[in-house]
Amino acid sequence: MKTSEFSYHLPSSAIAQEPMEPRHAARLLVAHTLEDRRFGDLPDLLDPGDLVVVNRTRVRRARLLGVKEGSGGRVEALLLRTLDGGLWEALVRPARRLRAGSRLRFGGLRATVVDDPVDGRVTLAIDAGDTPVETAIERWGLTPLPPYFHGTLGDPERYQTVYAEPTGSAAAPTAGLHFTPEVLGRLQDRGIRRVAIELDIGVDTFRPIATEDVETHRMHSERFRVGEEAAAAVADTRGRGGRVVAIGTTVVRALETAASSGEVVPGEGATDLFITPGYGFRSVDLLVTNFHMPNTTLIVLVAAFVGPSWRQVYKTALERGYRFLSFGDAMLARRAG
């Protein structure tokens, strides 16, 4: 498959530059009927006995602004994930001015570059003194908003889901940003159960595929956890003939990784699962997701799930003025076949 098969024209005017308020007022395109709804209608579009699975990861205040000690030159770091031994993987800029041993200061945080930058990535050893590192990051860091978002957020919590719990991601699971306590309550009232998994989202998720052939793209790895409650709920739902509704592509990847043996089993670790057309889905029946950038692994996953009609869905969304990307609108898709 050629990467160009997953391209489409996304005008800048279609990229949402402010979040919708209230959250559930975002539009929702029902992919298999091309019906226009609102996200607040989601409980009415599902059946009692269905299971909604969300990614409860919380976005870390992972953007650090500071200086290089000695020269005083400005430097920026985006913390991507924790590594063994208390180290961190980070994107830095300007990377060309940093080498192994460079010392950086971000407010009350100090960091030492462990290795020379490769494609802008380094390993950092972070020192927060007597303060726990995660606490210090929350104190001195900024919320890492997407690079295509040029608006402002009055409240950084607007880039968190209302059910966000453990901190771990460099970006939000954006399909979940539309939920409000009201919508969650209506799901419960209709007999639609909700469980949570975790997948820590890295920035590579949103980057365009750089290879000509999709199959030669090297998928990034992200930490995931599917607990016993979630695994049991999926098995129970499918056993009763209910549908599993994944809220976001990250939930699809976590559940499908946990179902590598055929059924979803509890587990945690790292996943580099790259879902492309022809993949046989084992665990997910419906997908709620935002509209994604062309030529990304996200749009490839959507094409695998929806089938060739994904192009018509996206064409319709653009023609009808749907808002795209992280703070945009959403679609509800049924698995092809």
Residues with Cβ within 8 Å of 101's Cβ and at least 6 positions away in sequence, in order, are: 112, 113
Amino acid 298: pLDDT: 97
Is the pLDDT score of 203 beyond 90?
no
* pLDDT, position 206: 77
The mean predicted confidence, pLDDT, of the chain is 96
Q: Could you report the per-residue pLDDT of 208-260, keeping only the tens digit for each?
A: 999 999 999 999 899 999 999 999 999 999 999 999 999 999 999 999 999 99
Instruction: Please tell me the predicted confidence (pLDDT) of residue 138.
Output: 95
Q: Say how many C-beta atoms besides its own lie within 10 A of residue 80's C-beta.
A: 23
Query: Residue 200: which of 163, 172, 158, 159 has the closest Cα?
Result: 172
What CATH architecture is 3-59+153-334?
3-Layer(aba) Sandwich (3.40)
Q: Cα–Cα distance between 181 and 312 in angstroms, integer?
A: 32
What are the two backbone dihedrals, phi and then psi, of residue 328, each rounded to the nearest 5 degrees? -90, -160
Apex CA 158: angle with CA 111 and CA 323, to 5°?
A: 115
Q: Which fold is adopted by the domain 63-140?
A: Thrombin, subunit H (2.40.10)
DSSP reduced 3-state for 13: helix
The pTM for the full model equals 0.95
Domain ranges for the chain? 3-59+153-334, 63-140
